Amino acid sequence: MSRYLLRRLLLTIPVLIGVATLVFALIHFIPGDPAQAMLGEGATPEDVAQLRVRLGLDRPLLVQYGSFLNGVVHGDLGVSLRNDQPVTKQILERMPATAELAFAAMAVAVLFALPLGIVAAVWRGTWIDHAAMTLSLVGISVPNFWLGPLMAIVFAVELGWLPVGGSGTLAHLVLPSITLGAALAAILARMTRASLLEELSEPYVLAARAKGVSRTRAVLHHAFRNSLIPIVTILGLQFGVVLTGAVITETIFAWPGIGRLLIQSISFRDYPTVQGCVLLIAITYVGVNLITDLTYGFLDPRIRVDRS
Amino acid sequence: MIRVGAVIVLLTVVAALAAPWAVPYDPSSQQLSLRLERPSPSHPFGLDELGRDIFSRVLAGARISLLVGITVVGISSIAGIVLGAIAGYFGGWLDEAISRSIDVLLAFPGILLAIALVAVLGPSLKNVVMALSAIGWVGYARLVRGQVLRAREFEFVQAARALGARTPRILFRHVVPTTLPAVMVQATLGMAGAILAEASLSFLGLGVQPPTPSWGTMLNGGRVHLLDAPHLTIFPGAAIAVLVLGFNFLGDGLRDVLDPKRQRV
């Protein structure tokens, strides 16, 4: 196990360096002078020159790159152009809100997806299965930037049950978490069905039934428990859907998280903050994937033997 | 399902092609006195904040969505097939370089990198296509690489090699065609992904810019009128959902047809 762990950890390092390199390069993809682009056409040459010095753009590219990597390692992502605050501080302030939303969305997804997937697998080939899978495909197809406003129209505007935006109470969390969790629920329901169907065809389920175990018990206590391993993995791997979806969901519901900070920073051309947000989201995603992979290896010994 | 998907996609393609002649009103013409008017027999989807006919704009928006989808899927799949085939067939340092690039790009979830790229390049249709293609090839390359690794051991490929066929001929005449059914499924689902991604970027104000009628841009415009004119949000969103659902039905159906193993499950 320790060899597998070490190997998996070592493989993550080049990916993280690659991610940091690409994020560093972003600012250099700006057509023309990045400092001029950030300040706009009306800026004086002095202001532009000053910003170039402030961002270190006057230094050789390799020196800039080294300095950027050094900053990333030490948690220094530069200073915001909008409010002169350290980017790291801004992101850390917003992180709990995004984490809260992401976990609530995942809870919503699990709550809807598992029963739907189980029902579809148990009644495979029937109208229940078709209805559940069609519903899940609809869930994948409905964009969250439409679902969110639609739910706001119904539950906030028409019925007045929930607030239309903002944060602070549990009521504020309901609409954003359903909006964000819907697509994940749809994917998870399909995976649950597929995984459970595979387990249901295993001889041990038949053996349990032959011994007189009830159908419900055979499904829930035997097959479903074993089908959870790939489901947990998918849940981890689909965390990316939640993170990207958070950018849009936070914008719709004025949720004070990293996604909203990213979009606000783009509109203010605050590129150091844009770089910081993108880097943090990508690193979080890599970290969650790593944990998922290790958990999978821990749960299923065949994986760590195969891969090492 | 596959038939429902095919009908939805076909109808949208026909509507997009016929849009310049079929639209009842000019999608850009404004009737400010009738702004935010609710749906009526003369304007079935109502009018937007500048008094433009939403039905005409939704029809015109189909052209943008399909154009982005086809271009992004075209560029991504060709780049992905070539790079994936090279990585899988030749192995060695070429495979390492391509596979590590794939790993790095996959570290950015969903359309995050596309958002960042458009943020620095500037919002425009061209930049949206560039950004989505820059991240889109990865899925095809990974798929094709895996398929090629398997296909290069097939007997007919070894026979072609033994007969002295040149490498490009073996690769693109014998090996790559075996990957095409899987690529076709991925491309169909990729159309749904590209359409959704373009709409997401336009919704965030990073994609197609007004007054060009894009479904995402229309939804973005409808946000401020959520309370007084919800029809601005309902119809463009429904158009996106139906078309994406159509491509998902089609892709799912194709996958079942082309993969007998899945059919059994």
Q: Which of residues 161-190 of B touch A (CB under 8 A)?
A: none
Bridge partners (DSSP) of residue A79 are: A86
CB atoms A149 and B219 under 8 Å: yes
The answer to whether A132 contacts chain B (CB < 8 Å) is no
Bridge partners (DSSP) of residue B53 are: B47
Instruction: Count CA atoms closer than 13 A to B137's CA, side-chain side.
Output: 20
CB atoms A248 and B192 under 8 Å: no
Q: What is the pLDDT of residues A167-226, one digit of tens each?
A: 888 999 999 999 999 999 999 998 899 888 888 888 888 888 888 888 888 888 888 888
- What's the gap in Å between the CA of B142 and the closest CA on chain A? 16
Q: Tell which of A11, A145, A179 to mutate to test the B interface (max B CBs under 10 Å).
A: A145
| Buried b / exposed e along A129-148 (16+ C-beta atoms within 10 A) | beebbeebbbbbbbbbbbbb
CB atoms A18 and B103 under 8 Å: yes
Q: Say which amino acid occupies B176.
A: V
| A86 three-class SS | strand
- What's the gap in Å between the CA of A27 and the closest CA on chain B? 7
The answer to whether A122 contacts chain B (CB < 8 Å) is no
Q: Which of B69, B106, B110 is nearest to B216 (CA)?
A: B69
Q: Tell which of A141, A162, A237, A243 to mutate to test the B interface (max B CBs under 10 Å).
A: A141
The answer to whether B228 contacts chain A (CB < 8 Å) is no
Measured between alpha carbons, how far is B155 from B157 in angstroms, rounded to an integer? 5
- Peptide linkage before B20 cis (omega within 30 of 0): no
Measured between alpha carbons, how far is A165 from A82 in angstroms, rounded to an integer? 24
Neighbours of B71 (CB within 10 A): 19
Q: What is the pLDDT of residues B170-181, one digit of tens each?
A: 998 999 999 998
The answer to whether B200 contacts chain A (CB < 8 Å) is yes
Measured between alpha carbons, how far is A184 from B190 in angstroms, rounded to an integer? 18
Indicate if the pLDDT at residue B262 is higher than 70. no
Indicate if the pLDDT at residue B235 is higher than 60. yes
The answer to whether B95 contacts chain A (CB < 8 Å) is no
Please state, rounded to an integer, the average pLDDT across all residues of chain B: 90
Length of chain A: 308
Q: Which of B121, B219, B237 sits opposite A31 (nearest CB)?
A: B121
Q: Tell which of B1, B99, B120, B247 to mutate to test the A interface (max A CBs under 10 Å).
A: B120
Neighbours of A56 (CB within 10 A): 13
pLDDT of residue B260: 56
Measured between alpha carbons, how far is A189 from A133 in angstroms, rounded to an integer? 8
The answer to whether A141 contacts chain B (CB < 8 Å) is yes
pLDDT of residue A72: 93
Q: Is the ipTM here above 0.95?
A: no
Measured between alpha carbons, how far is A223 from A201 in angstroms, rounded to an integer? 9
Full-model pTM: 0.89
Residue B104 in contact with residue A17, Cβ under 8 Å? no
CB atoms A251 and B204 under 8 Å: yes
Instruction: Count CA atoms closer than 13 A to A66's CA, side-chain side.
Output: 5
Q: Say which amino acid occupies B138.
A: V
Q: What is the pLDDT of residues A20-68, one digit of tens each?
A: 999 999 988 888 788 888 888 788 888 889 888 888 888 999 999 999 9
* Mean predicted confidence (pLDDT) in B220-229: 87
CB atoms B115 and A247 under 8 Å: yes
Q: Which of residues 31-60 of B touch A (CB under 8 A)?
A: none
Q: What is the DSSP string of A111-156?
A: HHHHHHHHHHHHTTTSHHHHHHHHHHHHHHHS-HHHHHHHHIIIII
